[in-house]
Structure 1
Protein backbone atom coordinates (compact mmCIF):
# COMPACT_ATOMS: atom_id res chain seq x y z
CA UNK A 1 0.00 0.00 0.00
CA UNK A 2 1.23 3.46 -0.88
CA UNK A 3 0.39 6.67 0.92
CA UNK A 4 1.79 10.17 0.55
CA UNK A 5 1.84 13.09 2.97
CA UNK A 6 2.94 16.71 2.79
CA UNK A 7 3.85 19.32 5.36
CA UNK A 8 3.91 23.03 4.67
CA UNK A 9 4.30 26.11 6.84
CA UNK A 10 6.17 29.42 6.65
CA UNK A 11 9.56 27.64 6.76
CA UNK A 12 8.97 24.14 5.41
CA UNK A 13 7.54 22.45 2.31
CA UNK A 14 8.18 18.73 2.68
CA UNK A 15 6.88 15.38 1.47
CA UNK A 16 6.89 11.94 3.03
CA UNK A 17 5.64 8.76 1.36
CA UNK A 18 5.36 5.20 2.56
CA UNK A 19 5.10 2.00 0.54
CA UNK A 20 4.44 -1.08 2.65
CA UNK A 21 3.60 -4.65 1.73
CA UNK A 22 4.68 -8.12 2.72
CA UNK A 23 7.68 -7.83 5.02
CA UNK A 24 9.05 -4.49 3.80
CA UNK A 25 8.46 -0.79 4.32
CA UNK A 26 9.93 1.80 1.96
CA UNK A 27 9.82 5.48 2.85
CA UNK A 28 10.72 8.45 0.66
CA UNK A 29 11.07 11.93 2.13
CA UNK A 30 12.57 15.34 1.59
CA UNK A 31 11.87 18.89 0.48
CA UNK A 32 9.42 19.32 -2.37
CA UNK A 33 11.33 19.85 -5.59
CA UNK A 34 14.23 17.58 -4.58
CA UNK A 35 14.89 13.89 -5.20
CA UNK A 36 14.75 13.28 -1.47
CA UNK A 37 16.02 10.21 0.35
CA UNK A 38 14.85 6.60 0.49
CA UNK A 39 14.90 4.19 3.40
CA UNK A 40 13.93 0.53 3.66
CA UNK A 41 12.96 -1.45 6.72
CA UNK A 42 12.42 -5.22 6.81
CA UNK A 43 10.36 -7.22 9.29
CA UNK A 44 9.96 -10.83 10.30
CA UNK A 45 6.18 -10.86 9.87
CA UNK A 46 3.47 -9.09 7.89
CA UNK A 47 1.80 -8.12 11.13
CA UNK A 48 4.91 -6.35 12.42
CA UNK A 49 5.35 -4.61 9.07
CA UNK A 50 1.80 -3.28 9.01
CA UNK A 51 1.93 -2.31 12.68
CA UNK A 52 5.11 -0.27 12.13
CA UNK A 53 3.66 1.35 8.99
CA UNK A 54 0.58 2.52 10.88
CA UNK A 55 2.80 3.78 13.69
CA UNK A 56 4.93 5.80 11.27
CA UNK A 57 1.85 7.27 9.58
CA UNK A 58 0.31 8.25 12.92
CA UNK A 59 3.56 9.91 13.95
CA UNK A 60 3.70 12.01 10.78
CA UNK A 61 0.08 13.09 11.10
CA UNK A 62 0.67 14.05 14.73
CA UNK A 63 3.47 16.33 13.51
CA UNK A 64 1.09 18.09 11.15
CA UNK A 65 1.55 16.17 7.89
CA UNK A 66 -1.55 15.96 5.72
CA UNK A 67 -2.34 13.03 3.45
CA UNK A 68 -1.95 13.87 -0.25
CA UNK A 69 -4.43 11.74 -2.20
CA UNK A 70 -3.25 13.02 -5.60
CA UNK A 71 0.49 12.55 -5.09
CA UNK A 72 2.10 11.53 -8.39
CA UNK A 73 4.28 8.50 -7.66
CA UNK A 74 5.09 8.26 -11.38
CA UNK A 75 6.68 11.71 -11.40
CA UNK A 76 9.53 10.80 -9.06
CA UNK A 77 13.12 9.67 -9.52
CA UNK A 78 13.88 6.41 -7.75
CA UNK A 79 17.33 5.60 -6.31
CA UNK A 80 18.37 2.62 -4.22
CA UNK A 81 19.48 2.45 -0.62
CA UNK A 82 23.15 1.39 -0.61
CA UNK A 83 23.00 -1.55 1.76
CA UNK A 84 19.96 -3.06 0.03
CA UNK A 85 20.86 -2.51 -3.62
CA UNK A 86 18.17 -2.84 -6.30
CA UNK A 87 14.77 -3.22 -4.63
CA UNK A 88 11.12 -2.92 -5.71
CA UNK A 89 10.50 -0.30 -3.02
CA UNK A 90 13.17 1.94 -4.56
CA UNK A 91 12.20 1.35 -8.20
CA UNK A 92 9.78 3.25 -10.43
CA UNK A 93 6.24 1.81 -10.39
CA UNK A 94 6.37 1.15 -14.14
CA UNK A 95 9.55 -0.88 -13.70
CA UNK A 96 8.03 -2.90 -10.87
CA UNK A 97 4.85 -3.59 -12.85
CA UNK A 98 6.53 -4.57 -16.12
CA UNK A 99 9.70 -6.36 -15.03
CA UNK A 100 8.24 -8.84 -12.57
CA UNK A 101 11.00 -11.48 -12.44
CA UNK A 102 13.08 -11.55 -9.26
CA UNK A 103 16.38 -11.53 -11.13
CA UNK A 104 15.90 -7.85 -11.96
CA UNK A 105 16.83 -7.16 -8.33
CA UNK A 106 19.53 -9.83 -8.12
CA UNK A 107 23.03 -8.57 -7.35
CA UNK A 108 24.70 -11.93 -7.91
CA UNK A 109 23.24 -13.25 -11.17
CA UNK A 110 25.79 -12.42 -13.88
CA UNK A 111 23.09 -12.50 -16.56
CA UNK A 112 20.78 -10.10 -14.74
CA UNK A 113 20.95 -6.42 -15.73
CA UNK A 114 22.52 -5.35 -12.43
CA UNK A 115 24.00 -8.66 -11.28
CA UNK A 116 27.39 -8.38 -12.94
CA UNK A 117 30.10 -5.98 -11.82
CA UNK A 118 29.55 -3.97 -15.01
CA UNK A 119 25.78 -3.82 -14.54
CA UNK A 120 26.01 -2.95 -10.86
CA UNK A 121 28.59 -0.24 -11.48
CA UNK A 122 26.49 1.19 -14.31
CA UNK A 123 23.41 1.52 -12.11
CA UNK A 124 25.43 3.00 -9.25
CA UNK A 125 27.05 5.60 -11.53
CA UNK A 126 23.67 6.57 -12.96
CA UNK A 127 22.14 6.98 -9.54
CA UNK A 128 25.02 9.09 -8.28
CA UNK A 129 24.68 11.44 -11.25
CA UNK A 130 20.91 11.61 -10.77
CA UNK A 131 21.38 12.51 -7.10
CA UNK A 132 23.70 15.38 -8.03
CA UNK A 133 22.32 16.67 -11.32
CA UNK A 134 18.78 15.22 -11.49
CA UNK A 135 19.28 14.44 -15.19
CA UNK A 136 21.29 12.23 -17.56
CA UNK A 137 21.53 11.89 -21.32
CA UNK A 138 20.69 8.20 -21.14
CA UNK A 139 21.19 7.56 -24.87
CA UNK A 140 24.87 8.56 -24.74
CA UNK A 141 25.57 7.39 -21.20
CA UNK A 142 27.06 3.96 -22.10
CA UNK A 143 29.75 5.53 -24.29
CA UNK A 144 30.37 8.29 -21.74
CA UNK A 145 30.72 5.82 -18.87
CA UNK A 146 33.07 3.46 -20.67
CA UNK A 147 35.27 6.03 -22.38
CA UNK A 148 35.21 9.10 -20.12
CA UNK A 149 34.91 7.45 -16.72
CA UNK A 150 36.46 4.01 -17.22
CA UNK A 151 39.06 4.89 -19.86
CA UNK A 152 38.13 2.01 -22.15
CA UNK A 153 36.82 1.82 -25.71
CA UNK A 154 33.09 1.72 -26.43
CA UNK A 155 32.14 -0.51 -29.36
CA UNK A 156 28.67 0.26 -30.69
CA UNK A 157 26.62 -2.52 -32.26
CA UNK A 158 27.02 -1.85 -35.97
CA UNK A 159 26.41 -5.42 -37.09
CA UNK A 160 25.07 -8.76 -35.88
CA UNK A 161 26.91 -10.73 -38.55
CA UNK A 162 28.37 -13.60 -36.53
CA UNK A 163 31.72 -13.75 -38.32
CA UNK A 164 32.26 -10.00 -38.06
CA UNK A 165 31.33 -9.95 -34.38
CA UNK A 166 33.70 -12.81 -33.58
CA UNK A 167 36.50 -11.23 -35.60
CA UNK A 168 36.19 -7.98 -33.63
CA UNK A 169 35.98 -9.92 -30.37
CA UNK A 170 39.31 -11.64 -31.09
CA UNK A 171 41.10 -8.32 -30.55
CA UNK A 172 38.60 -6.36 -28.45
CA UNK A 173 36.62 -8.94 -26.49
CA UNK A 174 36.65 -7.08 -23.17
CA UNK A 175 35.71 -3.77 -24.77
CA UNK A 176 32.83 -5.41 -26.63
CA UNK A 177 31.68 -7.33 -23.57
CA UNK A 178 31.58 -4.23 -21.41
CA UNK A 179 29.94 -2.17 -24.15
CA UNK A 180 27.07 -4.63 -24.40
CA UNK A 181 26.57 -5.13 -20.67
CA UNK A 182 26.70 -1.42 -19.92
CA UNK A 183 24.30 -0.62 -22.78
CA UNK A 184 21.51 -2.92 -21.67
CA UNK A 185 22.13 -2.14 -17.99
CA UNK A 186 21.66 1.55 -18.84
CA UNK A 187 18.35 0.82 -20.55
CA UNK A 188 16.98 -1.13 -17.60
CA UNK A 189 18.45 1.46 -15.25
CA UNK A 190 16.70 4.34 -16.99
CA UNK A 191 13.36 2.60 -16.58
CA UNK A 192 14.10 1.70 -12.98
CA UNK A 193 14.97 5.29 -12.10
CA UNK A 194 12.56 7.29 -14.30
CA UNK A 195 9.91 4.93 -15.63
CA UNK A 196 10.83 5.97 -19.18
CA UNK A 197 13.10 4.65 -21.94
CA UNK A 198 14.89 6.57 -24.69
CA UNK A 199 13.99 5.03 -28.06
CA UNK A 200 17.58 4.95 -29.34
CA UNK A 201 18.81 3.40 -26.11
CA UNK A 202 16.09 0.76 -26.34
CA UNK A 203 17.17 -0.19 -29.85
CA UNK A 204 20.83 -0.32 -28.87
CA UNK A 205 20.12 -2.40 -25.76
CA UNK A 206 18.18 -4.99 -27.75
CA UNK A 207 21.05 -5.22 -30.23
CA UNK A 208 23.56 -5.47 -27.39
CA UNK A 209 21.73 -8.47 -25.92
CA UNK A 210 21.83 -10.19 -29.31
CA UNK A 211 25.52 -9.44 -29.86
CA UNK A 212 26.36 -10.67 -26.37
CA UNK A 213 24.63 -13.95 -27.24
CA UNK A 214 26.68 -14.28 -30.43
CA UNK A 215 29.89 -14.00 -28.45
CA UNK A 216 29.02 -16.36 -25.61
CA UNK A 217 26.17 -18.71 -26.56
CA UNK A 218 26.36 -19.28 -30.33
CA UNK A 219 23.82 -16.56 -31.02
CA UNK A 220 21.08 -18.09 -28.90
CA UNK A 221 19.77 -16.07 -26.00
CA UNK A 222 19.68 -17.88 -22.67
CA UNK A 223 16.35 -18.14 -20.86
CA UNK A 224 17.20 -15.11 -18.70
CA UNK A 225 18.43 -13.09 -21.69
CA UNK A 226 15.32 -13.97 -23.69
CA UNK A 227 13.09 -12.79 -20.86
CA UNK A 228 15.07 -9.56 -20.63
CA UNK A 229 14.84 -9.10 -24.40
CA UNK A 230 11.09 -9.74 -24.51
CA UNK A 231 10.37 -7.49 -21.54
CA UNK A 232 12.48 -4.67 -22.93
CA UNK A 233 10.93 -5.05 -26.38
CA UNK A 234 7.39 -4.73 -25.00
CA UNK A 235 8.08 -1.83 -22.66
Structure 2
Protein backbone atom coordinates (compact mmCIF):
# COMPACT_ATOMS: atom_id res chain seq x y z
CA UNK A 1 0.00 0.00 0.00
CA UNK A 2 1.29 3.44 -0.90
CA UNK A 3 1.68 5.94 1.94
CA UNK A 4 1.80 9.65 1.20
CA UNK A 5 3.48 12.43 3.18
CA UNK A 6 4.06 16.15 2.78
CA UNK A 7 6.02 18.99 4.34
CA UNK A 8 4.54 22.43 3.81
CA UNK A 9 5.63 25.40 5.88
CA UNK A 10 7.35 28.74 5.36
CA UNK A 11 10.55 26.98 4.24
CA UNK A 12 9.31 23.89 2.38
CA UNK A 13 6.63 22.78 -0.06
CA UNK A 14 7.26 19.15 -0.94
CA UNK A 15 5.80 15.67 -0.93
CA UNK A 16 7.16 12.16 -0.41
CA UNK A 17 5.39 8.89 -1.20
CA UNK A 18 6.55 5.37 -0.44
CA UNK A 19 5.24 1.98 -1.51
CA UNK A 20 6.44 -1.55 -0.78
CA UNK A 21 5.91 -4.23 -3.44
CA UNK A 22 7.33 -7.49 -2.20
CA UNK A 23 11.04 -6.93 -1.73
CA UNK A 24 11.01 -3.66 -3.69
CA UNK A 25 10.49 -0.12 -2.38
CA UNK A 26 9.32 2.62 -4.74
CA UNK A 27 9.50 6.25 -3.61
CA UNK A 28 8.26 9.44 -5.23
CA UNK A 29 9.28 12.90 -4.10
CA UNK A 30 9.44 16.48 -5.27
CA UNK A 31 7.89 19.89 -4.99
CA UNK A 32 4.13 19.85 -4.52
CA UNK A 33 2.50 20.27 -7.93
CA UNK A 34 5.62 19.26 -9.86
CA UNK A 35 6.42 16.01 -11.64
CA UNK A 36 7.64 13.43 -9.10
CA UNK A 37 11.10 11.89 -9.07
CA UNK A 38 10.94 8.09 -8.81
CA UNK A 39 13.43 5.86 -7.01
CA UNK A 40 13.39 2.07 -6.73
CA UNK A 41 15.35 -0.11 -4.29
CA UNK A 42 15.47 -3.89 -4.04
CA UNK A 43 16.04 -5.83 -0.81
CA UNK A 44 16.85 -9.41 0.09
CA UNK A 45 13.33 -10.15 1.32
CA UNK A 46 9.90 -8.56 1.81
CA UNK A 47 10.59 -8.33 5.56
CA UNK A 48 13.80 -6.41 4.92
CA UNK A 49 11.90 -4.06 2.61
CA UNK A 50 9.21 -3.45 5.25
CA UNK A 51 11.84 -2.65 7.87
CA UNK A 52 13.43 -0.17 5.49
CA UNK A 53 10.04 1.46 4.89
CA UNK A 54 9.52 1.87 8.64
CA UNK A 55 12.96 3.45 9.04
CA UNK A 56 12.42 5.85 6.15
CA UNK A 57 9.02 6.94 7.46
CA UNK A 58 10.46 7.49 10.92
CA UNK A 59 13.21 9.72 9.52
CA UNK A 60 10.77 11.76 7.44
CA UNK A 61 8.48 12.33 10.41
CA UNK A 62 11.44 13.53 12.48
CA UNK A 63 11.98 16.16 9.78
CA UNK A 64 8.38 17.35 10.16
CA UNK A 65 6.59 15.45 7.40
CA UNK A 66 2.89 14.76 7.95
CA UNK A 67 0.96 11.87 6.49
CA UNK A 68 -1.78 12.92 4.11
CA UNK A 69 -2.76 13.97 0.61
CA UNK A 70 -0.76 16.99 -0.56
CA UNK A 71 -3.20 17.71 -3.41
CA UNK A 72 -5.71 19.25 -0.99
CA UNK A 73 -3.25 21.73 0.54
CA UNK A 74 -3.59 25.49 0.00
CA UNK A 75 -1.06 27.37 -2.14
CA UNK A 76 2.36 27.70 -0.57
CA UNK A 77 3.16 30.91 1.33
CA UNK A 78 6.21 32.13 3.21
CA UNK A 79 3.84 33.22 5.97
CA UNK A 80 2.98 29.65 6.89
CA UNK A 81 4.10 28.55 10.37
CA UNK A 82 7.16 26.32 10.57
CA UNK A 83 6.60 22.61 11.04
CA UNK A 84 9.46 22.42 13.55
CA UNK A 85 11.38 24.96 15.58
CA UNK A 86 14.71 23.91 17.00
CA UNK A 87 15.54 24.93 20.56
CA UNK A 88 19.24 24.64 21.23
CA UNK A 89 20.22 23.82 24.78
CA UNK A 90 22.15 26.69 26.37
CA UNK A 91 22.89 28.26 29.75
CA UNK A 92 20.39 31.07 29.33
CA UNK A 93 16.71 30.78 28.42
CA UNK A 94 16.99 27.20 27.17
CA UNK A 95 18.69 25.60 30.18
CA UNK A 96 15.99 22.99 30.65
CA UNK A 97 15.40 21.42 27.24
CA UNK A 98 16.14 17.82 26.39
CA UNK A 99 14.95 14.29 25.80
CA UNK A 100 13.76 11.31 27.82
CA UNK A 101 14.80 7.69 27.39
CA UNK A 102 11.76 6.95 25.19
CA UNK A 103 12.74 9.70 22.72
CA UNK A 104 10.09 12.17 23.86
CA UNK A 105 11.19 15.77 24.41
CA UNK A 106 10.66 18.39 27.10
CA UNK A 107 10.97 22.13 27.63
CA UNK A 108 10.80 23.60 31.13
CA UNK A 109 10.59 27.37 31.08
CA UNK A 110 9.47 30.41 33.05
CA UNK A 111 6.75 32.50 31.37
CA UNK A 112 5.61 35.76 32.92
CA UNK A 113 2.97 38.44 32.48
CA UNK A 114 4.19 42.01 33.00
CA UNK A 115 2.22 44.18 35.41
CA UNK A 116 1.20 46.70 32.77
CA UNK A 117 -1.98 48.44 31.55
CA UNK A 118 -4.22 46.97 34.20
CA UNK A 119 -2.78 43.45 33.97
CA UNK A 120 -2.34 41.74 37.31
CA UNK A 121 1.04 40.34 36.31
CA UNK A 122 2.43 37.00 37.36
CA UNK A 123 5.28 34.52 37.17
CA UNK A 124 4.82 30.94 36.04
CA UNK A 125 6.65 27.67 35.58
CA UNK A 126 5.71 25.67 32.48
CA UNK A 127 6.72 22.11 31.69
CA UNK A 128 5.91 21.05 28.14
CA UNK A 129 6.34 17.51 26.87
CA UNK A 130 6.45 16.53 23.20
CA UNK A 131 6.61 13.26 21.30
CA UNK A 132 9.73 12.34 19.38
CA UNK A 133 8.34 14.12 16.29
CA UNK A 134 7.73 17.41 18.12
CA UNK A 135 3.96 17.30 18.73
CA UNK A 136 2.78 18.53 22.13
CA UNK A 137 1.81 15.72 24.49
CA UNK A 138 1.24 17.53 27.76
CA UNK A 139 1.48 21.00 29.27
CA UNK A 140 1.76 21.60 33.01
CA UNK A 141 1.67 25.23 34.09
CA UNK A 142 2.09 26.47 37.64
CA UNK A 143 1.48 29.91 39.13
CA UNK A 144 4.45 30.65 41.39
CA UNK A 145 2.30 32.69 43.80
CA UNK A 146 -0.36 29.99 44.12
CA UNK A 147 2.36 27.39 44.72
CA UNK A 148 3.85 29.54 47.48
CA UNK A 149 7.11 30.03 45.60
CA UNK A 150 8.09 33.41 47.01
CA UNK A 151 11.89 33.09 46.87
CA UNK A 152 14.39 32.17 44.19
CA UNK A 153 15.50 29.13 46.17
CA UNK A 154 11.91 27.90 46.38
CA UNK A 155 11.54 28.23 42.60
CA UNK A 156 14.81 26.36 42.09
CA UNK A 157 13.70 23.52 44.37
CA UNK A 158 10.32 23.27 42.62
CA UNK A 159 12.09 23.18 39.26
CA UNK A 160 14.34 20.34 40.41
CA UNK A 161 11.33 18.34 41.58
CA UNK A 162 9.70 18.70 38.17
CA UNK A 163 12.88 17.53 36.45
CA UNK A 164 13.23 14.56 38.80
CA UNK A 165 9.64 13.58 38.08
CA UNK A 166 10.48 13.30 34.38
CA UNK A 167 12.75 10.36 35.10
CA UNK A 168 16.07 9.79 33.33
CA UNK A 169 16.73 12.58 30.85
CA UNK A 170 19.51 14.43 29.09
CA UNK A 171 19.75 18.12 28.33
CA UNK A 172 20.15 18.58 24.58
CA UNK A 173 18.70 20.33 21.54
CA UNK A 174 15.08 19.60 20.66
CA UNK A 175 12.81 20.28 17.67
CA UNK A 176 9.13 20.95 18.33
CA UNK A 177 5.99 22.19 16.61
CA UNK A 178 4.51 25.60 17.56
CA UNK A 179 1.49 25.31 19.87
CA UNK A 180 -0.66 27.23 22.33
CA UNK A 181 -2.61 26.27 25.45
CA UNK A 182 -4.74 28.34 27.82
CA UNK A 183 -4.19 28.61 31.56
CA UNK A 184 -4.86 31.27 34.19
CA UNK A 185 -6.66 33.34 31.57
CA UNK A 186 -3.53 33.57 29.43
CA UNK A 187 -2.18 31.96 26.28
CA UNK A 188 0.95 29.87 26.84
CA UNK A 189 3.24 28.13 24.39
CA UNK A 190 5.44 28.61 21.36
CA UNK A 191 3.13 30.81 19.37
CA UNK A 192 3.44 31.66 15.69
CA UNK A 193 3.32 35.33 14.70
CA UNK A 194 2.83 35.77 10.92
CA UNK A 195 3.88 39.42 11.08
CA UNK A 196 2.18 42.29 9.30
CA UNK A 197 0.45 41.45 6.02
CA UNK A 198 1.32 44.76 4.37
CA UNK A 199 -0.47 45.94 1.25
CA UNK A 200 0.56 48.56 -1.27
CA UNK A 201 -1.43 51.65 -2.21
CA UNK A 202 -3.49 49.67 -4.70
CA UNK A 203 -4.52 47.28 -1.95
CA UNK A 204 -2.52 44.38 -3.36
CA UNK A 205 -0.34 42.14 -1.23
CA UNK A 206 3.40 42.62 -1.34
CA UNK A 207 5.36 40.10 -3.39
CA UNK A 208 5.31 36.86 -1.42
CA UNK A 209 8.85 36.16 -2.66
CA UNK A 210 10.10 38.80 -0.22
CA UNK A 211 11.08 37.28 3.12
CA UNK A 212 8.35 38.23 5.60
CA UNK A 213 9.08 39.07 9.23
CA UNK A 214 7.63 36.04 11.01
CA UNK A 215 8.35 34.71 14.48
CA UNK A 216 7.62 31.99 16.97
CA UNK A 217 7.64 33.47 20.46
CA UNK A 218 7.53 31.87 23.90
CA UNK A 219 4.50 33.32 25.65
CA UNK A 220 3.43 34.97 27.80
CA UNK A 221 6.32 37.36 28.16
CA UNK A 222 7.72 37.17 24.63
CA UNK A 223 11.12 36.35 26.12
CA UNK A 224 12.35 34.01 23.39
CA UNK A 225 11.67 34.95 19.77
CA UNK A 226 12.69 32.38 17.16
CA UNK A 227 12.94 33.27 13.47
CA UNK A 228 13.71 31.63 10.09
CA UNK A 229 15.44 29.35 9.32
CA UNK A 230 14.36 28.08 12.77
CA UNK A 231 17.83 26.76 13.56
CA UNK A 232 17.74 27.51 17.29
CA UNK A 233 18.82 31.15 17.22
CA UNK A 234 16.50 33.44 19.18
CA UNK A 235 16.14 37.05 20.29
CA UNK A 236 15.22 38.10 23.82
TM-score normalised by the chain length of structure 2: 0.34
- Give TM-score scaled by structure 1 length: 0.34
Structure ranking higher in strand proportion: 2
Query: Highest Rg: 1 or 2?
Result: 2
